[in-house]
Amino acid sequence: MDFLSEELQKYVEDHTAPESELLKQLNRETHAHVMMPRMLSGHVQGRVLAAFSHMIKPHNVLEIGTYTGYSAICLAEGLSKDGKLYTIDINEELEEMVKDYFVKAGVSDKIEYLIGNAVDLIPALKVQFDLVFIDADKINYSNYFDLVIDKVTAGGFIVADNVLWSGKVVNQDKADKDTQALLDFNRKVHNDTRVENVLFPVRDGLMVMRKIAD
């Protein structure tokens, strides 16, 4: 994920709105006590997600992959009045920690936290979404796109994380299963006429898609 020099990364962080004290605490606790802390969105990407949410002012948001709740709290910042965020994660072991931080952030009443397999849960959601954030198992990225595209409002956005996969997407001759899944996903959405896409080289890559047709 470290595409920028340490010095340049620090410059970026120094010129980005800071994390709240709560998000700093969640960041520290995740790194200290949870496996694979690099899965956390973190400072800069968190501010990007919050900015997207503030610009879109979504009524309904779907997040696929809650992890410790950092990105959900960021996305919840821009919810419209009476807006709701649905977030799905398969790891029930983090549930207590996540719910605790949702309460501390004052967003627990705006979030429906679902535990289970997103492939099974998404079809049951009878909701139209203005913003979808995909940050779960890479093998299913294309499946997640197919499951949500008809649930996204015209003009709504889908954002997918990790689409550069630590730079592995440009070394296609040695692609492992996750890398190949991301290559297939990136190609798929790039060629889908229902969306207009731009790949942001933020952190590990954000594929941002705007739905332009049903």
Q: CA–CA separation, 135 vs 30, rounded Å?
A: 16
Domain-wise residue ranges, the chain: 6-211
Q: CA–CA separation, 208 vs 157, rounded Å?
A: 7
**Can you say whether residue 163 is alpha, beta or left, with left for phi > 0 and alpha for psi between -120 and 50 degrees?**
alpha
| Contact call for residues 206 and 160 (beta carbons, < 8 A) | yes
Residue 1 has a pLDDT of 65
Instruction: State the architecture of 6-211 in CATH terms.
Output: 3-Layer(aba) Sandwich (3.40)
Give the full edge-to-edge strand order of the sheet including 60-64.
Answer: 111-115, 84-89, 60-64, 129-134, 152-161, 206-211, 195-200
The three-class DSSP label of residue 77 is: coil
Please state, for a pLDDT cut of 90, what percent of the chain lies above it.
89
79 versus 38: the higher-pLDDT residue is 79
Question: In Å, what is the CA distance from 31 to each residue of 34, 44, 61, 92?
Answer: 6, 16, 26, 18
Mean pLDDT of the chain: 95
Residue 3 has a pLDDT of 77
| Contact call for residues 185 and 163 (beta carbons, < 8 A) | yes
pLDDT tens for each residue of 86-115 = 999 999 999 999 999 999 999 999 999 999
pLDDT tens for each residue of 157-214 = 999 999 999 999 998 777 799 999 999 999 999 999 999 999 999 989 999 999 997 6
Residue 213 has a pLDDT of 72
Residue 126, token pair as written in the block: 């009878």
